[in-house]
Structure 1
Amino acid sequence: MSVLARTTDVTRRYGGVLALDRVSIEIRPGELVGLLGPNGAGKSTLINLFVGLRRPTSGTVELLGGSPADPLVRRGIGVTPQETGLPEALRVGEIVDFVTRHYPEALAKGELLERFGLTGLERRQVGGLSGGQKRRLAVALAFAGRPRLVFLDEPTTGLDVEARRTLWEGIRAFHDEGGTVLLTSHYLEEVEALAQRVVVVGGGRVLADDTVRAVREMVGVHRISLVAPVLPELPGVLSAEREGERTHLVTHDPDRLVVALVTNGAPFSGLEIRPTSLEEAFLTLTAQTPAAA
């Protein structure tokens, strides 16, 4: 199957609110796609359409060659929504057993728990888990049935750095085995670390859909970092940020800015020039995009 999931000219309204406006996206086998957008951009709505929790107002949604409304089709996917609620009185092992029994070829319980840093918690009641452990369990359950395609909506929200990286490794392991993932995240460094392809949505529309590198280059800005006691007024500075002794400048024309800096004669040291980060590209792409109405 050349495409695992597809939306074609999908529009979704909630009363008078236009959440998605003629959105067309394809997810192909083996991809790890990062879905980015500001709050209210339509990311969760798009995932809900893919997994059959919502239906489009117009347009079509395909999943694994069929309809997301078909329970047999949905058996081939895994999902971790933005908010989850697990029975507090049940033990971790009991929840895993319950979920895996819905699948003909589920992942072994021990392997699933180990992959997501939950080894040793099998007999712990969910109510006794920390917030981070509950979130890791919710993500782990998305992979329990050996799915072909996994949807993760803000999978690492609220996790510390170590727990986040444990989840990253679990997601990478699934992807390395040929699995396909669509994830949303407010942590852009997470998408930059995991995803090969990035889809940016804003105002209910797709603003960019390409590799991480291509999206960075799309906005055509560079980041200049230097140490300077005082900086003169410089041409073409889009934004400036002070971090300790260093100043970070974002510009479309780094050569012109450096020439102006040298010509001015202001003392500086430690000059660094690099392409924009994914975060800077994302902010540039979405800055002028109005919210969907």
Structure 2
Amino acid sequence: MSTLAPSTNLRSHFKTPTGAVLLALAALLLLGGTLNSQFFSPTYLLLQLQSGAFLGVIAAGATLVILLGHIDLSVPWTLTVAATVGTAVTRAGGGAWAELGPLAGIAAGALIGLLNGVGVAYLRIPSLIWTLAVNTILLGAVAFYAGNTVISSEPSPVMAALGAGRSFGVLPNAVLVWLAVSAFVVWGLRRTLMGRYIYAVGTREVAAHMSGIDTRRVILGAFVASGVCSAIAGLLLAGYAGQSYQRMGDPFLLPGIAAVVVGGTSILGGRGRYGGTVAGVLLITLMSSMLSLMHVPEAVKQICYGLVVVVMVGLYSRRQGG
């Protein structure tokens, strides 16, 4: 019996969402290596890790919202607005005032998150509808500001250093930012009352309210955090690209949700771990890389992300129901 215990424990580990994602991640790595001999090179893997950092920061905020049983569909244009504001303020300020750009971008993301939180928590409008409406309004606002043309913009030195720079010439700074955001999220979920309240509200909001939790403030805080995370990702992406541009956040909406759901966080709220989200981000990033190697169009990529969400939600729901 004792000889069977290790293999049994191993099988039970891979039956968990995070374990299943790690297994799929290993399979993707092996498959990628067979498709392209450069897939395992440190340079290529670091490049993928840098790309995953942008998605990882977005997914960190999305995790908090989804744990509440809500969803934030304003991510694409929150990201774009933050990058637009950040680069515009940088260009207008110049010199020593240039670094007000990133602060302005983060403030813009927080304000959008605050607007989302007010609509969902206080006006009681379903998050799916409210955040989609906010996303559409932001789209129109940026298009009006830009005159339907590419905005002339430039990132501040800090934005460029964090988005495109590397520490010690090796590790992308964007990855360090993702690590910092991740540490803050993990600490918040595990060590603070806010983290406990998020799980309580996500499990059953009415019961949480009856127990004395101010559920509206919890929801408001989660949406503000999501807006800030989207803004940080937008500033990093603008620093990486050297400018802000319209629709720069569009490719991140479905992958951001997919990373959270694939990592085992319940779309209904109340269940999930941030570690699973990290594994989901790495899986989605490698999946996107492989599809790019196969020269798959962006539209097909989005279809694949949607299918991943549908399949994983179905599998987890079936497991929980059984």
Structure having greater relative contact order (Cα 8 Å, sep ≥ 6) = 2
**TM-score normalised by L of structure 1:** 0.26
**TM-score normalised by L of structure 2:** 0.24
Structure that is richer in helix per residue: 2
Structure that is richer in strand per residue: 1
